[in-house]
Amino acid sequence: MSPDHRQRIFHVLDPRQFSRADLDELCRLTTRVRGLAKTKEGARMLQTMLPHKRAMLYFTQPSTRTFLSFNNACHVLGIRTSEIRDPATSSEVKGESFEDSIRTFSSYVDIIIMRTWGEGMARTSADLMDRIRRRIPIVNAGSGKDQHPTQALLDIYTLERSFEQQGGIDGKVIGFMGDLKRGRTVRSLAHLMENYTGVRLVFIAPDAFQIDAAITDALAARGIAFEKSDDLHDRLPELDAIYITRLQTEYDTASESGGFDHTRFHFGPRELGMLKREGTIMHPLPRGPELDPAVDADPRAVYWRQERNGMWMRVALLMKIFAVEGEVDFG
Ligand code: NCD
């Protein structure tokens, strides 16, 4: 390991694989590529970085942002892409096993970016890659209710930029509101928060939708302060940022979502008045009734920027995976 604890990135499976040094470097690299891409020369230079690489986007769970941002991130770097978005169009319907399908993809491409309903499928694929001769990186673009590491990376980037004039993420109070039990974005972002000093996390949800012990135990083990609350209005004034998430109705097995009270866990014009003047409002999108579109016009609402940051962060991540980040001048 290098003295500053930055590691080579190969598979991207879990937010816990990233150190603070990795996060800081990825954020710097993201800002650098965003700047470069603004000029024709810079964009052309990025385009020439990875034209010899091909990517497979295997997205068998619905996706708009993550798919489009990875697809476009690949194209920014000259990577060619192919995709499967519906398992009914792959040989899995002929009974081919998941592992054989992944191995087949790996014969044609240099990286597999995957979103699945199942929780361990990215890891299973990475383990398979580690056993075969043609080992290519696997990127988890959302694994069921479990993790969404690349969303957490772009969320960190968005928070760092929002707190640019306030000393960055360290020392900030971050609130999370919504379906914290089944939403993978909050689980992943909470893990990345373990890298920051003096932060306090406030999980705001009805009891039945609260963050689970696997996450809070991990936070406690790393000495990260956190609290749980079921009262948004009570906690809102102390937050530096609020990260709002939607109800994950697709995981209902017995109409659980019906028990979520959107009148109490809702962010609209009234809540805007309770948030700090310098506060930040985030949402991974897509939104539901928890976030009023009337909030969009407030300068503290950064979720559309957050969405766009996702593409640039994914460009930076792909550059790290293929070890070409040294080709851009950090000066
Ligand atoms: C999130 C996801 O898929 O987990 N969306 C995204 O990637 N931006 C959030 C969600 O669907 O609620």
Annotated active-site residue 94? The verdict is yes
From the list 6, 11, 53, 115, the catalytic residue is: 115
What is the pTM for the complete model shown?
0.96
Annotated active-site residue 245? The verdict is no
Above 70 in pLDDT, residue 277? yes
- Ligand 1 centroid–CA 52 distance in Å is 30
**For atom 7 of ligand 1, which residue has the closest CA?**
66
In this predicted model, what pLDDT tens digit does every residue of 192-229 receive, in sequence order? Answer: 999 999 999 999 999 999 999 999 999 999 999 999 99
Q: How many CA atoms lie within 13 A of 56 on its CB side?
A: 20
Mutational test site, ligand 1, from 68, 70, 145, 151, max ligand atoms within 8 Å of CB:
151
- Residue-level pLDDT at 329: 72
Quick one: pLDDT band at residue 257, thresholds 50, 70, 90? very high
Quick one: average pLDDT of 77-87? 94
In this predicted model, what pLDDT tens digit does every residue of 112-171 receive, in sequence order? Answer: 999 999 999 999 999 999 999 999 999 999 999 999 999 999 999 999 999 999 999 999
Mutational test site, ligand 1, from 182, 249, 285, max ligand atoms within 8 Å of CB:
285
Helix (H) or strand (E) holding 193: helix 184-193
209, 215, 221, 223: CA torsion to nearest 10:
-70
Mean residue pLDDT across the chain: 95
From the list 11, 53, 145, 148, the catalytic residue is: 148
- Ligand 1 centroid–CA 284 distance in Å is 6
Pocket of ligand 1 (CB under 6 A): 65-66, 142, 148, 151, 183-185, 245-246, 284-286
- Ligand 1 centroid–CA 246 distance in Å is 9
* Spatial separation of the C-alpha atoms in residues 85 and 61, rounded to whole Å: 7
From the list 60, 66, 116, 150, the catalytic residue is: 66
Residues 6+ apart with CB under 8 A from 254: none
Tokens in use for 317? 């991540």
- Nearest in space to 207 (alpha carbons), one of 272, 251, 144, 256: 256
Annotated active-site residue 235? The verdict is no
Beta strands in the chain (DSSP E): 54-59, 80-84, 111-116, 138-143, 173-177, 200-204, 225-229, 241-244, 280-282
Above 70 in pLDDT, residue 90? yes
In this predicted model, what pLDDT tens digit does every residue of 5-34 receive, in sequence order? Answer: 667 899 999 999 999 999 999 999 999 999
* Spatial separation of the C-alpha atoms in residues 321 and 79, rounded to whole Å: 13
Ligand 1 atom nearest to 310, measured from its CA: 8
- Nearest in space to 228 (alpha carbons), one of 206, 197, 253: 206
**For atom 6 of ligand 1, which residue has the closest CA?**
284
Above 70 in pLDDT, residue 75? yes
- Residue-level pLDDT at 4: 63
Above 80 in pLDDT, residue 260? yes
Task: Return the higher-pLDDT residue of 158 and 329.
Answer: 158
Annotated active-site residue 148? The verdict is yes
From the list 65, 103, 200, 308, the catalytic residue is: 65
- Nearest in space to 311 (alpha carbons), one of 63, 119, 34, 107: 34
Ligand 1 atom nearest to 62, measured from its CA: 3
Ligand 1 atom nearest to 141, measured from its CA: 7
Quick one: pLDDT band at residue 181, thresholds 50, 70, 90? very high
- Residue-level pLDDT at 2: 47
- Residue-level pLDDT at 330: 64
Out of 90-94, 148-152, 247-251, 287-291, least confident range: 90-94
Quick one: average pLDDT of 258-270? 96
- Nearest in space to 241 (alpha carbons), one of 162, 157, 148, 153: 162
User: Strand, helix or coil at 116?
Assistant: strand
